[in-house]
Amino acid sequence: MPMRRELYPKNWDAIALSIKSATGWQCENCGRICRRPDQAWEAFIHENHLQQLEAIGLKLKKQRYTLTAAHLNHQPLDCRPENLKALCSGCHLRYDNRHRRQK
C-alpha cells in the first residue's frame, strides 16, 4: 500500500533516516542488511558479498533490500522512538498485514 504523505509529520524523512541509521541499516526483525540511500546497487552487492547469489542465478530484487521505518501502533503521527522500528520491506509488509487482518 502506498504511503500517504499527508498523514505523516513534515520532518518524517529525517525521523525515518535517524531510525534506520541507528540500526546500521539492518532490519530489526530478520537481520537483513539493507542498502543506504547514497549507496549504489552494485557497490551494495559487492560490499555484502552478494555476487555469489547472483552467480548461481538468484535474482536479487532491490526492494527486498530497502529499509523502512515502521510505526508499531500504525499511527503515522506517533513518532516516539519506542513506537518506531527499522524493518526491511518484507518484514514491514508482513507486520502491516497482521494489523490489516485484525481490523
Give 102's pLDDT tier (boundaries 50, 70, 90): low
pLDDT of residue 99: 74
Look at residue 87 in the predicted model and tell me its pLDDT.
97
pLDDT of 1 higher than 60: no
Is residue 26 within 8 Å of 65, Cβ to Cβ? no
* pTM listed for this prediction: 0.85
CA-to-CA distance for 67 and 32, rounded, in angstroms? Answer: 9
Confidence band, pLDDT 50/70/90 cuts, at residue 40: very high
| pLDDT 10s digits, 48-95 | 888 887 777 777 888 889 999 999 999 999 999 999 999 999 999 999
On the 0-12 / 13-18 / 19+ scale of CB atoms within 10 A, 62 is: exposed
Top-confidence residue, 43 or 99: 43
